[in-house]
Amino acid sequence: MRDITIIAIGGKHDSDLKSAIERYETRLRLLGGVRWLLLPSIASDIEAVRQAESTSIRRKLLNNDVVVLLDERGTELDSKAFADKLSQWRELAGRV
């Protein structure tokens, strides 16, 4: 099975989200390895932050990686639909 790498800006252990993250990470481990890559948060104006974070993330990617961006304004998937998508992406690439 292929590993899943989660690239996050800042810390992954926001106190409000810690238990939810841990439960979800446990589920993801059933599909294979899970690796966290935490990149430092950059304090500045919002557009400069966005550009710096994008550059930082792109430097960590390989050519055949599948990149999944999660955004509260994006398409909402239930757990089953997301798991199905994740399986499809993992079949397409070396890393997700």
- C-alpha dihedral over 13, 32, 82, 88, to 10 degrees? 140
Phi/psi at 36 (5° precision): -95, 135
pLDDT band at 95 (very low <50, low <70, confident <90, very high): low
Residue type, 65: D
| Closest to 7 in 3D by CA, of 70, 51, 63 | 70
pLDDT of residue 65: 82
pLDDT digits (tens, 9 = 90+) for 44-83: 677 888 888 888 888 888 887 888 877 778 888 888 898 8
- What tokens were used for 75? 């398409």
Q: Is the full-model pTM beyond 0.85? A: no
